[in-house]
A and B are shown apart, each in its own frame.
Chain A
């Protein structure tokens, strides 16, 4: 009972930080806008340049919160399912799988609407996730961190050279694909958000019942089975939820790496390993991280912008190295 109290405080702190970041994200940008204009824009005004600028920051903020929450949650679920500290949608090649699927959709099937991207991105993410896990878990010891990370890195590289091969001969679509790939949340509109929101909600709904099951899986497969849990069902449910979350996010924001890696580790350090707390707190922390990275990207090299994916990689890669150094990895 004693541990619950700090968790509730942490929850309140994170919600406050998130609210503060939302305000910052609306207020801060390349163009300095006065308080009066910001308030006018929030109530729907777009008369002045300042109000129009703020009006574009509102959907952007909402999308950053949604995408960050989805990636943080997906990362926590993946790390729980694979019981692997290096699991992350980016490292496992899931983002690149979604990318390749979208690029093929644009280049060969003339897809141009987000509604079409979303489904094909989820398909690509699913295929990539399953094949990386299959390659990584071959042989002795199952999916060890090293094997899984190597399989994911190799698959990512393979997929990214396929993306280039598909895009290069098509000058007509190269610009669009590149804009999507650099991605980020800059071009967000309420229409786009409305199209992915149901899928993200479905992913979230599926994630809720997995929390308890992930706790059981963490005890080991035999013990989980003994407690009346079917590991296959638990894994399947969790995997579908994670793939929905990162596929839909990648479709709208492009590949964003490392959020799903960093967030669950930080949350585990702060709040312990109970997935019933870990999953929601990872989602909230993920939203904070992506929002902060996006706002930072707007300030760092003003007047231009740094795409949020680059900011998260610059923050996340050192973190990845830190985890690798902590791991005990036997010599090859």
Chain B
């Protein structure tokens, strides 16, 4: 081994690493496309892929135009968009706070957005953009409240999570209260705002999450290098030239923004934000930023959860119940592991 070969070897190792990252992301994207295609083809009846493609191209196919165009397509589009939002926002929070438990659904940001959406719909009879706007404002408000309440000589992850648990249990009972006030309150509606559901999806609804992803989402992804630096600790990140306060502010604003908009449409789909980051990290390893893979994993989770809830089980379950059933045992597992290693 000569001296000259070390830079060369470093370069090739780096190249290999980024190639591995790209391959993993490409595989996830391919898997997502495949999953979308499957959910478009399969339902109560099976539509041949050819017909699906013709419907997508705008051709009027008797029968398939309705089932695929009106029922399955809006559902799939909304599932993918909501999943991208939850996965991206959740992973951003987890990386920023260096704790997988600090995801927005556990610390009450989803519940805040959901409570605001229910309030806007039930008490103020609003719809569309104003609901999304109120959800975003409430999400930011809850984030500010949690950070403010857990600030005491700096922010401790543990205190933040416990304060968040307290805030979200208060918001949950506020949601229950608002729903009890609703003139026609039924179980389906309650499920949507407590665990999340894609029932009754329309393509119009997809506009807001899409816009949020295009603006806040791209801003957030733009911060991925800064976020990776934050992973090393605030002091190290600052020493390496990252403006810690600015990065953190942008990340909080944009992540809360996309999560709140998605929640305003689908309800707080349980645990997608919490699960996507760790799963994505397991897939791509330490080869690059976890944000984009986490978003793809989130979309896959919502799509698969919705499909399983509709067709693979004897009853029909909303997607939030399915993701909750996967997420809750994982949460307990994570706590057991953290306790065993003494990390908490």
Contacts and interface: CB of A to CB of B under 8 A. Distances in A.
A binds B: yes
Given A169-B314, A178-B187, A325 B177 contact: no
A332 interface: yes
A275 to B, nearest CB: 26
B84 to A, nearest CB: 23
B336 A164 contact: no
Nearest to B161: A150
B332 A332 contact: no
Contacts of B173: 309-310, 313-314, 317
A262 B167 CA distance: 16
Interface residues of A, number: 48
B341 interface: yes
Contacts, number: 143
Nearest to B169: A317
Interface stretch (A42-50, A132-140, A187-195, A223-231): A132-140
Contact of B191 (A138, A144, A149, A164): A164
Contacts of B329: 158
A154 B162 CA distance: 12
Interface string A101-144: 00000000000000000000000000000000001101111001
B101 A150 contact: yes
A168 B174 CA distance: 22
B328 interface: yes
A325 B344 contact: no
Contacts of B240: none
Interface string A30-61: 00000000000000000000000000000000
Contacts of A317: 166-167, 169-170, 173
Contacts of A269: none
A182 B172 CA distance: 12
Q: Could you say which interface size class chain B belongs to?
A: 35 or more
Contact of B167 (A165, A301, A321): A321
A304 B183 CA distance: 12
B180 interface: yes
Contacts of B169: 257, 313, 317, 320
Interface in B315-344: 315-318, 321, 324-325, 327-329, 331-332, 335-336, 338-344
B241 to A, nearest CB: 24
B187 A147 contact: no
Contacts of B285: none
Interface string A155-179: 1011101101100110000100010
A304 B181 contact: yes
Interface in A303-332: 304, 306-307, 309-310, 313-314, 317-318, 320-321, 324-325, 327, 329-332
The 7 closest A-B pairs by CB, nearest first: A169-B315, A158-B328, A161-B324, A317-B170, A332-B157, A313-B173, A139-B339
13 contacts: A139-B339, A141-B342, A146-B162, A155-B332, A162-B328, A164-B321, A165-B325, A169-B317, A257-B169, A307-B180, A321-B166, A324-B166, A325-B163
Given A154-B335, A161-B270, 13 more contacts: A138-B339, A139-B338, A139-B344, A147-B335, A150-B101, A165-B317, A168-B318, A304-B180, A310-B177, A321-B163, A330-B158, A332-B161, A332-B344
